[in-house]
Structure 1
Amino acid sequence: MGERVTWAQRSAVRFFALLSICLGGFLLIAGNGWESRAQEEAPAGGTALVLHIEGPIGPATSDYIVSGLETARERGAKAVILQMDTPGGLDTSMREIIRAILDSSVPVLSYVSPSGARAASAGTYILYASHIAAMAPGTNLGAATPVAVGGGGLPMPGGEPEKPQSGEDEEDGGSGKAGSGDAMKAKMVNDAVAYIRSLAEMRGRNADWAEQAVREAESLSASKALEENVIDIQAATLANLLAQADGRTVRISGEDVTLATKELMTEDLAPDWRNELLALVTSPNVALILMMIGIYGIIFEFMNPGAIYPGTVGAICLVLALYAFAALPVNVAGAGLILLGMVLIVAEAFSPSFGALGIGGTIALLIGATILIDTEAPGFQVSWYVLAGIATATLAFTYLVAHLAVSSFRQRVTTGKEEMTGMIATVLDWEDGRGFVLAHSERWRAVSDAPLEAGDAVTIDEIDGLTLHVSPQENKPGGSRAL
């Protein structure tokens, strides 16, 4: 019997080994076939990957561009085209994109397109950093003045640059170096000027106009930008862009490289699910809503231990919100006010103050949410509709807690010795002003100044330790009967 089992085991091992070899061979042959088919279908001239920058530039955009450039390198793409239409965005995200472009071993062609698009603020810096800068007719770039102090944003300016405020400032020729009188803003402007000038000098483009775009919020059309040597190419289509870029020499990793882009086929590289998720959660409005859901879910879990679902959903939402806020320019004061507001709301839930703590917490929460995102970059402000929704939900929660507190104070106590006061008991035996009564199906020692007999109904007036003070029931009408 032992030999037969051993033989069966050996046969099973051989069968699975043979099956594994066959499966591996099939996958190898299929993989080679797919690779050969891909090579046959690949264009002879190579591929240019097209990445799209649309809307405000934030953490999701920088992650998409950085990973896209890495994908282009891994796939052996001959060029990367950044097709842009952006009003600007966060300085930190912009610098991550520029660092990726400067480190890229694949030539990057930034292209402001389609007609009517713009590369404002952060988009101008990215255009200057690219190996080839191009624009479609009917587009514009510029307005690169940083106006959000402390937030790391580079939005479009909200108005005209400030005028010099003293004669000494006017002697500077209106350069804007000290016109605002704000040392912090002057520091930001000077840093931005130095940064964009270094990019212009690296790519051989108009550095003086770049400085004007930062200091004076200058903008240019596509045709004027070509005349001023701000861009290299004006092209109506991607094919025209690749044709004009063909034969140009760019510097990549310290070496001069001649572009061969005329025969390239373009391929769009769409954001993957990770980029889409990052774009969703790093929206300030979504992040704030996730944080509120997380906090309320945890509060409800503590108020109802064992509910599981509120705590689980709340924890997930809170972690996502914290991740989003870690990627966004958060104002410390705003975060502190939100934390204070939530502490007050939790205190209202566990120590009801009839709405005082809840209303104070709501006010602190709203002020904190309003100033939470420390930037004026377009697309990164908290919506007033979201704030109104949060205020409504918080006030509703406060009202519910206050209503329950008031209702509980109005209701008669149903436990403890307070609950027994006023109840009706039955005398079991009585002698000389004391005896025993039946209350709550229990035998209690009782005393009374009134003459009582066994079977009389009495009302419990007071409880002194384990002794009840009772009186005849007819003197205390309306009491509840003891069982």
Structure 2
Amino acid sequence: MSGLRNRCYILIAFSLLLLTSHASLSFAEEKSDTGGEDKLVYIIPIENEVERGLEAFLQRTTEEAEAAGANHIIFEIDTPGGRVDSAGQIGKLMQNLDIPTTSYIVNEALSAGSYLALNTDNIYMSPQATMGASGVITQDGTAADKKAQSAWIASMKGAAESKGRDPEYAIAMADADKNLPEYGAPKGEFLTLSPQDAVEVKYAKGIVNNRVELLYELGLSNATIVETETTLAEEVARFVTSPIVIPILLSVASLGLIVELYSPGFGVAGTMGLISLVLFFYGHIIAGLAGMEAIILLVLGIILIILEFFVPGGIIGIIGVGAVIGSLFLSGYDLGHMSMSIAIAFIVAIIAAVILFKSIGLEKGIFRHIILRDRTTSDLGYVSSIARTELIGKTGVAVTPLRPAGIAVFENERLDVVTEGNFIDVNKKVKVVKTEGMRVVVREI
């Protein structure tokens, strides 16, 4: 009996040893995975306004991450929002990524920024961060029409649902008619979530103070980190494709052209106008908005405008201006905004032209080459070969009534004469006051 008991004890001890060994091995594996030593993480910033320049930057960096075999992408978000159409394109880009993604809201993810965060797998927030206030606002500060609002609300709802989040709160971020007073958003106000509220409604997975804490929470504290930055070209593209900068660039370009037309040689105004035009197209090319067709149309338009100064008619110049305007429309991402920008530039050009014409006239600049200035006046020594200047001052007698033309005799020479406008009777004495070619003007004495 005691032998059986001993064998049982040995069996139990052996079983406990196996369980302990398995638990220790599992813990060791889990510990090694937690650090993520063999993982590659890309950090991609989403800062400032959401626009097409940002879209081009994110397209490049996410493609780099995929090509490098990244295991995780962290988007560090700090943006007040921006263009809805650009946000939509970026959202599609995020949804198509096969790499796990996390949004780390450093400061704010408002408007279009909240939509971008909703398109990632995880959301973490810093203690001072905010997320929401996503209503669609037009450039003049008013609410967008119902059609645009409805489409945007549907986009916010879809983004939340795609990652398993309750869409009610995403809708409230974009729809002021929702009523969520417990989260500071009564009816008439857009929802903005604090970090605590975001965790409570399961939009955010946690609150972290910095990137180090975030990597630890993701189990990637020992992973290889690659920080991406915008290139100089992308910075320029983001700046010049801003809705505020575009009308300024076009206005400077048109103003420089007009001033240059009134200036001798090619100076500062023309250089500024040319640089503005180059910046506009350069930025739009980098952002993927302007293609070769826009550049070809621009060059063709400029050539036609130059030819207009040498070919009479005006049609070539009109076609050239139309080609330049067409190239601008081809480069724009929003027809309405581009129309407004071109209109502003056109008004600036007209005002400048009127001011310069009144102050300078057509005495300088390129106009001096296309305006005929030679005059064949008598004070410059030009005399007609048949002019009778020797008659000026001579007196004679009208032999016919002058009404106002007629005949008068001067030293036995009969001449066709004309008065200054009044009638002179026959036999009245007259005096020659001036001659204009064959025309002899007389006045009654």
**Superposition TM-score, scaled by structure 2 size:** 0.57
Which amino acid is 2:388 matched to?
Answer: A
| Displacement of 1:296 | 3.2
Mapped to 2, the partners of 1:414 and 1:391 lie a distance apart of 31
Cross-structure match for 2:401: none
Deviation track 1:413-457 (CA, whole Å, cap 9, x = no partner) reads 98435x32xx39xxxxxxxxxxxxxx44986642516459xxxxx
Corresponding residue for residue 58 of structure 2 = 65
1:222 aligns with 2:202: no
Q: 2:173 aligns with which of 195, 202, 213?
A: 213
TM-superposed deviation, 1:141: 0.6
Letter of the structure 1 residue corresponding to residue 43 of structure 2? V
> In structure 1, what residue type is equivalent to 2:194?
S
Equivalent residues in 2 for 1:434-445, closer than 5 Å? 439-440=381-382, 445=387
Residue in 2 that maps onto 1:192: 152
- Residue in 2 that maps onto 1:274: 233
Q: Tell me the SS of whatever aligns to 1:49.
A: strand
Change (3 A) 1:290 1:462: farther
197 and 286 in structure 1: CA distance in 2 versus 1, 3 angstrom threshold: closer
The CA deviation at 1:390 is 11
Does the residue aligned with 2:436 lie in a helix, a strand or coil?
Answer: strand
| Aligned residue among 86, 111, 118 for 2:108 | 118
Q: Distance in 2 between matches of 1:189 and 1:118?
A: 22
Give, in angstroms, the shift of residue 122 of structure 1: 0.8
Corresponding residue to 2:118 among 128, 133, 144: 128
Alpha-carbon offset, residue 101 of structure 1: 0.8
Distance 1:109 1:70, change over 3 A: same
**What SS is found at the alignment partner of 1:146?**
coil
Aligned pairs, how many?
301
Structure 1 distance, partners of 2:254, 2:355, is 18
TM-score norm. by structure 1 comes to 0.53
Q: Give the Cα separation in 2 of the matches to 1:406 and 1:60.
A: 42
Larger radius of gyration: 2
Cα distance, 1:320 vs. partner?
Answer: 4.2
Shift in Å, 1:206: 2.0
Q: 2:205 pairs with 232, 245, 259, which one?
A: 232
Q: How far 1:45 sits from its partner (Å)?
A: 2.5
Change (3 A) 1:60 1:225: same
Q: Confirm or deny: 8 A CA contact 1:444 1:468 kept in the other structure.
A: no
1:17-38, Cα deviation, whole Å (9 max, x unpaired): xxxxxxxxxxxxxxxxxxxxxx
Q: 1:271 to 1:239 in 2, by over 3 A?
A: same
Match of 1:48 among 37, 41, 47: 41
Deviation of 1:158 (Å): 7.2
Amino acid at match of 2:250: M
The amino acid across from 1:263 in the alignment is N
User: How far has the Cα of 1:189 moved from its partner?
Assistant: 2.8
Alignment of structure 1 residues 62-461 onto 2, 5 Å = 62-113=55-106, 117-148=107-138, 185-216=145-176, 217-246=190-219, 261-300=220-259, 307=266, 314=273, 317-318=276-277, 320-321=279-280, 395=351, 397-405=353-361, 415-417=374-376, 419-420=377-378, 423=379, 439-440=381-382, 445-447=387-389, 448=391, 450-451=393-394, 461=434
Secondary structure of the 2:360 match is helix
**Alpha-carbon offset, residue 283 of structure 1:** 2.5
How far apart are residue 392 of structure 1 and its match?
8.8
CA separation of 1:188 and 1:211: change in aligned 2, threshold 3 A? same
Q: Using the TM superposition, give the Cα deviation of residue 107 of structure 1 relative to its aligned residue in structure 2, in angstroms.
A: 1.9
- SS of the aligned residue for 1:230 comes to coil
CA deviation string 1:311-347 (max 9, x = no partner): 6764553364367689899xxxxxxxxxxxxxxxxxx
The question of whether the paired residues in 2 share the 8 Å contact of 1:84 and 1:112 is answered with yes
Change (3 A) 1:312 1:187: same
Q: Which residue of 2 aligns with 1:179?
A: none
Give me the whole-angstrom Cα distance separating, in 2, the residues matched to 1:470 and 1:186. Answer: 79
Matched letter for residue 125 of structure 1 = Y
| Counterpart residue identity of residue 103, structure 1 | N
Q: Kindly state the Cα deviation for residue 91 of structure 1 after the two structures are TM-superposed.
A: 0.6
Change in Cα spacing, 1:470 to 1:58, as seen in structure 2 (3 Å) is same
Paired with 1:444 and 1:109, the residues of 2 have a C-alpha distance of: 96
Secondary structure of 1:284's counterpart equals coil
> Contact between 1:301 and 1:308, CA under 8 Å: does it hold in 2?
yes
Q: Deviations over 1:138-187 (max 9, x none)?
A: 21111112233xx7x9xxx879xxxxxxxxxxxxxxxxxxxxxxxx7333
Separation in 1, partners of 2:165, 2:225: 26
User: Aligned-pair distance for 1:128?
Assistant: 0.9
Residues 143, 214 of structure 1: 8 Å contact kept: yes
CA distance in 2, matches of 1:290, 1:296: 10
Change (3 A) 1:138 1:129: same
CA distance in 2, matches of 1:83, 1:237: 11
Query: How high is the sequence identity, in percent, across the aligned residues?
Result: 22
Q: Is the 8 A contact 1:62 1:96 kept in 2?
A: yes
Asked if the contact 1:282/1:328 (under 8 Å) is kept, the reply is no
Distance 1:451 1:64, change over 3 A: same
Partner of 1:174: none
Go from structure 1 to structure 2 and tell me whether the alpha carbon gap of 1:295 and 1:147 turns closer, same or farther (over 3 Å shift): closer
- CA distance in structure 2 between the partners assigned to 1:293 and 1:203 by the alignment: 46
Cα separation, 2, equivalents of 1:406 and 1:69? 56
Separation of aligned partners in 2, 1:313 and 1:305: 16
Alignment of 1:462-473 (within 5 A): 462-464=435-437, 467=438
- 2: distance between equivalents of 1:146 and 1:187? 11
- On the 8 A contact 1:57/1:86 being kept in 2, the answer is yes
Q: What's the secondary structure of 2:225's corresponding residue?
A: strand
